[in-house]
Amino acid sequence: MERVFQDNVELGCYVDSVHGIHMWKRIFTIAKDYGFEYECTIPQIEALIDKEERGELTLDMSGQIAHDLENEIDDYLNEKMAVDNAYWGRNENGDWGVWSERMIGDYLNLPFGNVI
């Protein structure tokens, strides 16, 4: 896959880590808007979570599915929606978005925590 650099992608937080275990759904929706395709839809993933809640699927299994999905999304966006000197993924605080090294350094020095 050839990297395609974009000028119209804004740097910053797209999904705040405050959403916890529900971050994957927001990340998946954003990725779909950028053309990401996956063999499993949100209702199918939610069905896996329902199985987990009924004790038919372990938390480790569903967590691994969400983790693998997020890794595939990050790889896709870093190829198809590449931003010069930045990356799609999580920052040190668990927020998901497009980050540059300069932003990470500035982010860690903010006086009032996460304001991005």
The residue whose two tokens read 């209702």 is 43
Provide the edge-to-edge strand list for the sheet that holds 96-100: 12-15, 96-100, 86-90
Mean pLDDT score, 17-46: 84
Q: With helix as H, strand as E and coil as C, how does 9-48 read?
A: CCCEEEECHHHHHHHHHHHHHHHHHCCCCCCCCHHHHHHH
Domain borders along the chain are: 12-108
Q: Are 81 and 88 in contact (CB under 8 A)?
A: yes
pLDDT in tens, 52-86: 678 776 666 667 777 888 999 999 999 998 888 89
pLDDT at 3 over 80: no
pTM: 0.71
